[in-house]
Amino acid sequence: GNQSPGRAASQISSSLSSPSSSSTSGSAEVLPFEIWYRDNSEDDLSLDPYSWVDLEVKKVFSTFTRGSALLGTAKVICQLGPWSVAVHPCRPDEPAHVQPSAEDPPFFFLYETLPSKLGIKLPFTSFERSVLRALNVAPTQLHPNSWGFVRAFELICEDLGRAPSLSVFFWFFSLRKAAKVGWTSLSSRPKRKLLKPFLESFKVFKDRFYKVSQGAVGPIILIDSSGDPYFPLYWTPQPAVSVTVAEKDLEGWEKEFVAELHGFRVLSTAEIIKGSGFSAKYLKNIRKKLSQASAKP
């Protein structure tokens, strides 16, 4: 069976899984909707500490095994500002789900496609971090198409002058069921389709990841002042397996926002995140077409 920390007081804390595999900033986070996590109590770790990981993940190693292939990457993947990160190649036999050794400084793996194709830069936004915490997944544990939904939703919120809300986001998106822990995938809920996937088949990403750690200067972007990660840095055996948002879970402004979003036809994730300012123009054109269509006799 699956474990739930309970609804209305859904807590994401290190009690969900071992502190080595996951912990989050602060001792607990209260979510206003129901979320269930994978029950890892039956996992047999005696022969393989990663027995819970899907074989498809285990058999993939990164092509970024030389530092020379990553020259300039650290600067390119950061947002403008005081931020800095260090980027490191992977060992030839190192899959994305491995845990750090005791002497490793905090790091996380990042798929190249996030900054290069989806426009996701570091540090992750507050909303992006909250999605990772709610789902209890590391950055590479979330499928790139799902990252696309997160990014496009953020841009829609920005264009419409709304705060990005986890409740509204999960009103439109649910989790795909999986037996083992692989890439966590979000899909549109029946009759609540907001976004088309960035790509129908997102294949070229699995072997293109590298390590990211804190840079030498600038604000710390991996852990807070208490030493807790802002999001799960490493793959967790207890990712979310079910999220349910009921109408009563929404605040007044969120209900209004949901109604506004239901007024759009299904939007293209790829079109929205294509470039700076494009998203607003894209939504403006769609609104114009909708108003013209409704004005026709």
CA distances from 200 to 144, 176, 283 (A): 11, 15, 22
CA distances from 97 to 143, 207, 272 (A): 13, 12, 30
Residue 182 Ramachandran class (φ > 0 left, ψ -120 to 50 alpha, else beta): beta
Cβ-count burial 57-93 (b if 16+ within 10 Å, e if not): bbebbbbbeeeeebeebbeebbeeeebbbebbbbeee
- Reduce the DSSP state of residue 142 to 3 states and report it: strand
Q: What is the mean pLDDT of residues 234-240?
A: 97
Interacting residues of 253 by C-beta distance below 8 A, sequence separation 6+:
162
101-143 residue pLDDT tens: 888 889 999 999 999 999 999 999 999 999 999 999 999 999 9
Q: Determine the straight-line distance between the first and last CA of the chain, rounded to whole angstroms.
A: 54
- d(CA 211, CA 117) in angstroms, rounded, equals 18
Of the candidate ranges 5-9, 148-152, 204-208, 250-254, the one whose mean pLDDT is the lowest:
5-9
- d(CA 246, CA 106) in angstroms, rounded, equals 37
The domain spans of the chain are 50-294
The model's pTM is 0.87
- d(CA 41, CA 130) in angstroms, rounded, equals 25
- pLDDT band, residue 297 (cuts 50/70/90): low
**Which pLDDT belongs to residue 162?**
94
| 228: amino acid identity, one letter | D
- d(CA 123, CA 128) in angstroms, rounded, equals 10
Per-residue pLDDT at 37 exceeds 70: yes
**Which pLDDT belongs to residue 294?**
62
CA neighbor of 233 nearest in space, from 133, 117, 102, 113: 133
